[in-house]
Copies of this chain bind each other. A is one copy, B any other.
Amino acid sequence: MKKVLAIDVGGTKLVYSIINEKGEFLSEIKKTSTPKNIDELEKLFKDIISENEDNIDMTAFATAGAVNITNTKVESSTPNMPDGYNSLDFSKLSKKPVYVENDANAAAWAEYKIGAAIEENNTITITLGTGVGGGFIVDGRLLRGKSGRGGEVGSMKINGRNRICTCHRKNCFEAYASGIGLKKTANETAINDETFKTSIFREKNPDDITTYDIIEGVKQKDNFSLKVFNIWKQDLIIGLINITNIFDPESIIISGGMGEFIDTKEIENAINSEIVVSPVKIKLAKAGNYSGIIGAALLACEKY
Contact = CB atoms under 8 A, between A and B. Distances in A.
A247 B145 contact: yes
Contacts of A143: 138-139, 247
A205 interface: no
Contacts of A19: none
B246 A136 contact: yes
Contact of A277 (B136, B149, B241): B149
Given A121-B146, A157-B238, A160-B159, A152 B276 contact: yes
Name the interface size band of chain A.
Answer: 35 or more
Given A122-B145, A145-B122, A146-B122, A153 B246 contact: yes
Nearest to A143: B138
A113 interface: no
A125 B45 CA distance: 43
A294 interface: no
Given A158-B157, A158-B158, A245-B156, A277 B145 contact: yes
A121 B147 CA distance: 11
A236 to B, nearest CB: 12
A119 to B, nearest CB: 11
10 contacts: A66-B277, A122-B150, A143-B247, A146-B248, A146-B250, A149-B278, A151-B246, A152-B277, A155-B275, A157-B158
Nearest 8 interchain pairs by C-beta: A160-B160, A145-B248, A150-B248, A152-B245, A149-B277, A155-B245, A147-B278, A156-B242
Interface of A: 66, 76, 120-122, 134, 136, 138-139, 141, 143-153, 155-161, 167, 169, 238, 241-243, 245-250, 274-278
